[in-house]
Structure 1
Amino acid sequence: MNENHPRLVASISPEWSIPQVADALSRALAGDGPALAAAPISQQSVPAEISVVVPTSGSTGAPKEVAFTSAALLASARAAHKFLGAEPGEQWSLLLPVNHIAGINVLVRALELSVPVVGIEDAAAYTAIVPTQLHRALHGDQQLLSHLQGCKAVLVGGAAASSHLLESARKANISVLTTYGMTEMSGGCIYNNQPLSGVEVKISATGNIQLRGPMMAAGYLNNLSAWKNATEDGWFTTSDLGELVGKEIRVTGRSDDQIISGGEKISLGAVEKFLSQEFHEQEFIACGVPDLEWGTKLVLLSNLDINIESVRDKLKNSLGAHAVPKGFLTVENLPLTSLGKPDRTIARELYLAAN
């Protein structure tokens, strides 16, 4: 990034209305105002070419301040609209927080279609949600359900959605499509397992998904070495493991959600995904806690009473004996991030506090 002629930064304030955020974003993208930070960042100015900064959640370490050019964010919006067949004048609804790239993306797309975003109370052609919101729409949130049913397409991303949840949504006349991506790629860049226009995908020697495209971020403002380590020849190496099946990319797990228990590697995401398919009405979070015997032991949290014997048998038969949890806890509400991902840090604390 060019350090000459730094540009001032304005951070989104919780007091700002959505029209105020959209106006600040529009001016930032056009170069007529300061760069916009989705949340407070460590710097008061950024390189001149940077328009937007989105701090990551920091779920795997200290938050990284991801910097974007206008060209990257607009490339993402245009690729999404090309896939959807969106036309100027069609509206997006904003159902996600604007301190994440997913919310920023909705605003950029609305600017591209020259129509302000609307809320849940108004009709929209397109929207973006996380699986938790989809689950709530199908289990009692009538206003959200009605809104989603009225959309031409509902983008579901931020976390993996089970096949049962997606099928239930389609049966409820919600036109869902899955998105995969990360902040560093301006959010979702794979729709229904297909790369958007301009996106290239390959699998590294270690099995990690690598992505390249015009929507890639410019770097981490506060961690240049981490960006250098994650990128090579224009490719961004993700923490997701995957495979290419024909023209489709399939995510099979994460390289950073594994624990080693008794010398055996266990994928927490694989355990959660399997259980969500076996117990459709129940939610689970798997995490590791310190243990004298196992080093780290696998424990399981759920929002409903756990049929321990059934869970043990199913996991043992499908994933192996090492994937059977050594501890169980039922909590009223599972801890999730604002984008619906499991918050394993809080889950671990809840388990330890209860035991």
Structure 2
Amino acid sequence: MGQFINTYHTLTLEGITRSGEILRDYCSAQLSDKGIADWEIAIYQFCLDWLSSDDTIVAQTSGSTGTPKEIQIQKKHMVASAEKTIAYFNLEPGDTASLPLSANYIAGKMMLVRAFVGRLNIIGMAPCSNPIAELKQHVNFAPLVPMQVINALQTVKGEWPVDTIIIGGGAISDIYKEQLRLKQTAFYETYGMTETVSHIALKNISESSFLALKGVSFSSDERECLCIDAPDVVSEKIVTNDIVQLNSQTSFSFIGRYDNVINTGGIKLVPEKLEAKIVAHLKTPFVISSLPNDLLGEELVLVYTDPTLTKAKLSDIFRNTKLTKYEMPRKAILLSQLPLTETEKVKRACLKGLIAKADAQCIMKKIIFKP
């Protein structure tokens, strides 16, 4: 028997409120339906796990920086995290929240915990590329990944039927932020990970720095990587591989991943910083990566997905950016698609291995630029 005393055992799903044994029986009955979809299975199974006497929930990391792994998360930490978000956004009992993300991952699980803790009405949705287009009603709160936001911008006309959207799993480029600012919806970027039980810092898309949620503080190590102290959501201090500019104990600006740094001829470059310079000029999905080079150690490579881009067009794009001569890619490689995790993050390590194989089937074209 676990020590966690679960006082949050009532859930409103699709406008119907169930509690305790009634909720448990309902979820079990739904799971016995052989025609149930995978995304629904994840929701009902999480509810059963939440209502169990166990102190912990199993969660899987996304795998964007390595092999996905399962970790045990304390339910008391999940409650504390939910309370922070509910307080920050002033969510009230009866408010409606949509769940267009898989409940197999922490972002989806935490939306359900917020519904339990805050007595929100949760609207389950099949995870898709454009959940805004699929919404049938107005909702107060919703989590999206960047791809879902961008697809909605390109297809949904007029105002979106959501009061507040939190964006996780990656950064939104400035060109899209300009369009989002014209919406009545409030948009916030999140910073967090499975180990911190979802986000521990937020920033409005109009701001440049992340601000810590209540009870969270920051420091940095000798690599200038972020260290997180959040005792009510994680038992130990977390040292990340995220390079940041630390503004204060409760504020930072994200620079890039330490393990993504490219060392080319002794000059260390952060690909995320280079991508931020290019993104306003290149509309197709792309990533800055590297290939082994006998002279430089590593050489910069632009990996892109638009077969209509010629060498001349790419050269024009590079000229219009603010890249220095050391930041200029030496090659551009066309892929049919970028390798992504299930949560739509680029698998950078996988991509490096892929483009290093000259005979890889998905490599369609390689363009070489003069250094």
TM interval, shorter chain, is 0.7 to 0.9
The match for 2:145 is 130
The residue identity in structure 2 corresponding to 1:98 is A
Is residue 276 of structure 2 the alignment partner of residue 266 of structure 1? no
Q: Aligned pair in 2 of structure 1 residues 275, 191: CA closer, same or farther (>3 Å)?
A: same
The match for 1:252 is 255
Alignment check: 8 A CA contact 2:168 2:189 kept? yes
| Matched ranges for 1:16-35 at <5 A | 18=39, 20-32=41-53
Is residue 103 of structure 2 the alignment partner of residue 98 of structure 1? yes
The match for 1:303 is 305
2: CA distance, partners of 1:217 / 1:27: 23
Alignment check: 8 A CA contact 1:155 1:179 kept? yes
Is residue 147 of structure 2 the alignment partner of residue 121 of structure 1? no
- Cα RMSD, aligned residues only: 2.8
1: CA distance, partners of 2:290 / 2:226: 25
The match for 1:35 is none
Alignment check: 8 A CA contact 1:91 1:113 kept? no
Query: For each residue in 1:134-177, what CA deviation from the matched residue of structure 2 results, as whole angstroms up to 9, or x when unmatched?
Result: 1111112x3xx77x811110001111112221221121433211
Q: Which runs of 5+ in 2 are unaligned?
A: 3-30, 126-133, 204-209, 367-371
The match for 1:224 is none
2: CA distance, partners of 1:293 / 1:85: 56
Query: For each residue in 1:15-50, what CA deviation from the matched residue of structure 2 results, as whole angstroms up to 9, or x when unmatched?
Result: 665555334323433434xxxxxxxxxxxxxxx63x
Secondary structure of 1:93's partner?
strand
Secondary structure of 2:326's partner?
helix
Alignment check: 8 A CA contact 1:258 1:267 kept? yes
Q: Normalising to structure 1: TM-score of the pair?
A: 0.77
1: CA distance, partners of 2:182 / 2:284: 19
1: CA distance, partners of 2:65 / 2:45: 30
Alignment check: 8 A CA contact 1:288 1:299 kept? yes
Alignment check: 8 A CA contact 2:300 2:327 kept? yes
2: CA distance, partners of 1:23 / 1:15: 10
2: CA distance, partners of 1:322 / 1:295: 14
The match for 1:187 is 198
The residue identity in structure 1 corresponding to 2:211 is Q
Is residue 359 of structure 2 the alignment partner of residue 344 of structure 1? no
Query: For each residue in 1:224-258, what CA deviation from the matched residue of structure 2 results, as whole angstroms up to 9, or x when unmatched?
Result: xxxxxxxxxx3111111112335532111221111
Is residue 81 of structure 2 the alignment partner of residue 70 of structure 1? no
Q: Aligned pair in 2 of structure 1 residues 14, 129: CA closer, same or farther (>3 Å)?
A: farther
1: CA distance, partners of 2:323 / 2:240: 24
Alignment check: 8 A CA contact 1:131 1:157 kept? yes
Is residue 219 of structure 2 the alignment partner of residue 198 of structure 1? no
Q: Which runs of 5+ in 1 are unaligned?
A: 3-11, 33-47, 219-233
2: CA distance, partners of 1:295 / 1:14: 53
Secondary structure of 2:46's partner?
helix
The match for 2:88 is 83
The match for 1:209 is 226
2: CA distance, partners of 1:81 / 1:324: 44
Query: For each residue in 1:76-95, what CA deviation from the matched residue of structure 2 results, as whole angstroms up to 9, or x when unmatched?
Result: 11101101000111121111
Q: Aligned pair in 2 of structure 1 residues 259, 270: CA closer, same or farther (>3 Å)?
A: same
The match for 1:231 is none
Q: Aligned pair in 2 of structure 1 residues 23, 99: CA closer, same or farther (>3 Å)?
A: closer
Measure how far apart 1:72 and its partner are: 0.8
Q: Which moved more, 1:186-195 or 1:329-338?
A: 329-338
The match for 2:184 is 173
- Count of residue pairs the alignment pairs up: 307
Aligned counterpart for 1:238 among listed residues 240, 257, 263:
240
Alignment check: 8 A CA contact 2:64 2:346 kept? no
Q: Aligned pair in 2 of structure 1 residues 255, 15: CA closer, same or farther (>3 Å)?
A: farther
